[in-house]
Amino acid sequence: MPGYIDIHQRRYLGNKAKLVNKIKKIIDCACPNAKTFFDVFSGTGVVAAAFAPSMTVITNDILYANYVSNFAWLSPQSYSQSKIKHLIDKFNSFELEEENYMSRTFGDTYFSRKTCKKIGFIREQIEYLCSRKLVNRKEKAILITALIYAMDRIANTVGHYDAYRKNGNRNGELFLKIPRKIKGLSRKNKCYCTDSNRLVHRIKADIAFLDPPYNSRQYADNYHLLENVARWNKPEVYGIARKMDRSNIKSKYNTKKATKAFEDLVKNIHAHYIVLTYNNTGNKAHERSNAKISDEDIMRVLNKKGEVLVYSHSHRAFSAGLSQNDENVERIFLCKVADRDG
Ligand SMILES: C[S@@+](CC[C@H](N)C(=O)[O-])C[C@H]1O[C@@H](n2cnc3c(N)ncnc32)[C@H](O)[C@@H]1O
């Protein structure tokens, strides 16, 4: 029996699994009549999922692996849970000898060669099942999501794929679990995979929730391997970390252009409320860890749209080593838009 996984059971930098109850409380209290929740930088989708039982949710992320996973958890398309269980049971029992793209490209790096053979074979099977119309789009997304969560549990990393541990543990066994169904999803839920600044022009929602990256660490660099497996175009990879070309999935929010991008985004949002979470990282020894948008700029940009309230929540920072003892404060900015057009 494979057992179940829930949406929050994934390691993802900056995920709001621990903060989501606080975010929900603030929003439920400030926006009691809201019916649509637009998660503009959805990542794992945990925040959208918290609102999914009571509102229509719209998710978006520039990374395809996140889009697939958001679609698996939150899209309204129906699917067969017994088929998923049967396929996951079958995938878990595979024992393989043949090499494939995954073992040739990533063998004995983030995973053992044996595990890579299994990952590659399962991913190929999912493609085959879909091409023969034996699974629908939602079922395909659920199977890829189950694979991504299983890989995440045993990867020889510190939680992301910027590098693997040279002498780390690659003995974990790949074991897929069934994504537990989220009940009561709205038929109008939608998932997108595009640049936030383009998408906001064409979405109207009661709440636009913004959780952009805040430092220089590109998500495309940290999650290239999951992106590679989700897309399954089998690209060439480069360097010790074996990253594919990521030029079309890099984010402006990790660069000096972040403030300008944020200003353009907020200007074009059509929502009654804009809720932003942003970390005040202070000045770290690693320049890469410093926040890209200043508090002054956040307030200046949001104040142009309406009245702003700020809530703060203190928690230990993610740290790559040097600044282990720093305390980060995650702030929640709530802007009541003065005049939503349309
Ligand atoms: C801080 S994480 C969001 C975490 C999410 N709230 C969660 O709880 O899992 C920021 C996300 O924004 C995405 N992202 C970065 N730039 C983007 C852009 N221009 N458009 C859409 N998504 C973007 C990243 O891929 C990443 O998943």
Centre of ligand 1 from the C-alpha of residue 302, in Å:
19
Report the C-alpha gap between 337 and 14 in whole angstroms.
26
Mean pLDDT of 134-139: 98
- The whole-number pLDDT of residue 316 equals 52
Give how many domains the chain has, as a whole number: 2
Quick one: which atom of ligand 1 is closest to the CA of 209?
6
- Sign of the C-alpha dihedral, residues 256, 257, 263, 269? negative
- The whole-number pLDDT of residue 312 equals 85
- The whole-number pLDDT of residue 158 equals 87
Residue 283 inside a domain? The answer is: yes
Q: Is 14 in the pocket of ligand 1 (CB under 6 A)?
A: yes
Residue 6 inside a domain? The answer is: no
> pLDDT (tens digit, 9 = 90+) per residue, 260-310?
999 999 999 999 999 999 987 665 656 667 888 999 999 999 999 999 999
Q: Is 66 in the pocket of ligand 1 (CB under 6 A)?
A: yes
Say whether pLDDT at 159 is over 90.
no
**Ligand 1 pocket check: which of 13, 39, 61, 66 to mutate, most ligand atoms within 8 Å of Cβ?**
61
Percent of residues, the chain, with pLDDT higher than 70: 92
Q: What is the dihedral of CA 179, 232, 240, 97, to 10 degrees?
A: 80
Instruction: Please tell me whether residues 207 and 230 are part of one structural domain.
Output: no
Say whether pLDDT at 320 is over 60.
no
- The whole-number pLDDT of residue 169 equals 87
19 CB-contact burial (10 Å; exposed 0-12 / middle 13-18 / buried 19+): middle
Which of residues 314 and 56 earns the better pLDDT score? Answer: 56
Say whether pLDDT at 337 is over 50.
yes
Q: Is 333 in the pocket of ligand 1 (CB under 6 A)?
A: no
> pLDDT (tens digit, 9 = 90+) per residue, 189-217?
999 999 999 999 999 999 999 999 999 99
Say whether pLDDT at 317 is over 60.
no
- The whole-number pLDDT of residue 231 equals 98
Percent of residues, the chain, with pLDDT higher than 90: 85
Residue 71 inside a domain? The answer is: no
Residue 72 inside a domain? The answer is: no
Residue 1 inside a domain? The answer is: no
Mean pLDDT of 123-135: 98
- Contact present, 269 and 336 (Cβ < 8 Å): no
Residue 230 inside a domain? The answer is: yes
Q: What is the CATH number of the domain that holds 205?
A: 3.40.50.150
Q: Is 218 in the pocket of ligand 1 (CB under 6 A)?
A: no
Instruction: Please tell me whether residues 107 and 146 are part of one structural domain.
Output: yes
- Contact present, 281 and 290 (Cβ < 8 Å): yes
**Ligand 1 pocket check: which of 62, 224, 278 to mutate, most ligand atoms within 8 Å of Cβ?**
62
**Ligand 1 pocket check: which of 41, 60, 247, 264 to mutate, most ligand atoms within 8 Å of Cβ?**
41
Instruction: Please tell me whether residues 259 and 328 are part of one structural domain.
Output: yes
Instruction: Please tell me whether residues 321 and 201 are part of one structural domain.
Output: yes
- Angle made by CA atoms 79, 21, 301, in degrees to the nearest 5: 100
Instruction: Please tell me whether residues 200 and 304 are part of one structural domain.
Output: yes
Residue 141 inside a domain? The answer is: yes
Average pLDDT, whole number, for the chain? 92
Centre of ligand 1 from the C-alpha of residue 317, in Å:
18
Instruction: Please tell me whether residues 36 and 54 are part of one structural domain.
Output: yes
Instruction: Please tell me whether residues 145 and 227 are part of one structural domain.
Output: yes
Instruction: Please tell me whether residues 196 and 284 are part of one structural domain.
Output: yes
Mean pLDDT of 242-259: 96
Say whether pLDDT at 7 is over 90.
yes
**Ligand 1 pocket check: which of 219, 260, 330 to mutate, most ligand atoms within 8 Å of Cβ?**
219
- The whole-number pLDDT of residue 328 equals 65
Instruction: Please tell me whether residues 30 and 119 are part of one structural domain.
Output: no
Residue 2 inside a domain? The answer is: no
Q: Is 23 in the pocket of ligand 1 (CB under 6 A)?
A: no
Quick one: which atom of ligand 1 is closest to the CA of 41?
12
Pairing of strands 306-316, 327-337: antiparallel
Could you list the residue range(s) of the whole structural domain that residue 280 is in? 13-64+187-216+255-342
Say whether pLDDT at 342 is over 60.
no
Say whether pLDDT at 222 is over 90.
yes
Q: Is 251 in the pocket of ligand 1 (CB under 6 A)?
A: yes
| Kind plus residue range of the DSSP H or E element containing 336 | strand 327-337
Instruction: Please tell me whether residues 339 and 236 are part of one structural domain.
Output: no
Helix, strand, coil abundance in the chain, percent, nearest 5? 40, 20, 45
Instruction: Please tell me whether residues 235 and 340 are part of one structural domain.
Output: no
Quick one: which atom of ligand 1 is closest to the CA of 261?
19
Instruction: Please tell me whether residues 236 and 290 are part of one structural domain.
Output: no
Per DSSP, the residues of 75-137 read: ------HHHHHHHHHHHHT-------HHHHHHBTTTB-HHHHHHHHHHHHHHHHHHHTTSS-H
- Contact present, 271 and 265 (Cβ < 8 Å): no
Q: What DSSP state is assigned to residue 212?
A: -
- The answer to whether the pTM exceeds 0.85 is yes
